[in-house]
Amino acid sequence: MEYSVVFESILLIGFMILIGVLLARMTPINESTRKTYTLIIVNVAMPCIILSSIFKVDIDPTILKNIGLVFGLSILICLIGILVGWLLITIFDKESTIKSEISLLSGLGNTGFIGIPLCAAILGPKGALYAAIFDAGVDLVIWTVGVMLLQKTVKFSFSTLKSMINIPTIAIVCGLFFAFINYRPPVIFITLTNQLAALASPLAMFYIGILIMSVNKAQFTTLKSKSIIPTAVKLLGLPVVVFIMISFLTFDHLIAQTLLIQATMPALTLSSILFSKYHANDKLGAIVTVISTIFSLLSIPLLLLIFVKLHYF
């Protein structure tokens, strides 16, 4: 893979985030506007990029086996990140009241909004498919371990299970089922999903730009020191762990590349929404998302350059 493809993809992401910042400066953005962006991205664009990726790949028994492997590894990687974040905040700030938030921000990355489009650009349709499966694993951790940590309980209720049933997850299940029975939808439907899939990356980056402008100076000053651990773990610690993991285990080369890219993603974009839902520190979620996303524009190409030099790409 040419490193220029990585650089160009990151540069495009940076420009789209900048457009989101400019949009937020030009037009007042309220909570309703942000929810609309989230609704379109999560319920329209993301399912379409998942279905588009599945329809472009011929699913065979080997790919089905790889899908299960990626899903399991995604859960494992997320749990490692959460555990590392928990250990670090416990060591450096035993009395912290935001251990759960920091732990989740350390392990849960923006594998949907940025990860899937980036894998699609760099690795092609099959890479996008594996990236979508990785994101499904992240979703599972969010609505199980994540909810338990935020509620400070190990209780797994029906409402938690219901929260896991969302449109992107349904898109993955339906898409894989169609692929498994070798069903190809009408051409017009495939064209529609391809065109709507193209919305995912721009809208997601616009949303991040808007999110950046939603954090005021006072909030940033108060919480910036709390963002060091989750940002460092998410952007540097977790990629190193995944690199070590794939160095000692034998994977399909494309799976290894997908895992490395997804491990470099910044903190979960929707963390502030998740934290708000469970009465946690949503401002910390927004600030860590903003800071880690900005730094990721440097860390992602740098880490991928290192991986290219080590012949992993």
Give the domain extent around 257. Answer: 3-309
Nearest residue to 252 via CA among 130, 74, 114, 76: 130
pLDDT at 154: 62
For position 258, what pLDDT does the model report?
95
pLDDT in tens, 90-115: 998 877 888 999 999 999 999 987 88
State how far the Cα of 42 lies from the Cα of 44, in Å rounded to an integer.
6
Q: How far apart are CA 3 and CA 72, in angstroms?
A: 29
Specify the pLDDT at position 156: 61
Beta carbons of 288 and 271 less than 8 angstroms apart: yes
CATH number at residue 238: 1.20.1530.20
What pLDDT is attached to residue 251? 81
Helix spans in the chain (H): 3-26, 31-40, 46-55, 61-92, 99-107, 116-123, 125-141, 147-151, 158-164, 167-180, 187-197, 200-214, 217-223, 228-232, 238-248, 253-263, 271-277, 282-309
Amino acid, res. 235: L
Degrees (nearest 5) of the Cα angle 205, 209, 215? 140
pLDDT less than 70: residues of the chain: 1-4, 153-164, 313
Angle between helices 61-92 and 99-107 (to 10 degrees): 150
pLDDT of residue 178: 85
Q: Which residues pair with 267 in a beta bridge?
A: 109
**φ/ψ of residue 267, rounded to 5:** -65, 155
Report the domain count for the chain. 1
Are 277 and 89 a contacting pair, CB within 8 Å? no
Identify whether the C-beta of residue 267 lies closer than 8 Å to the C-beta of residue 288: yes
pTM score, whole prediction: 0.84
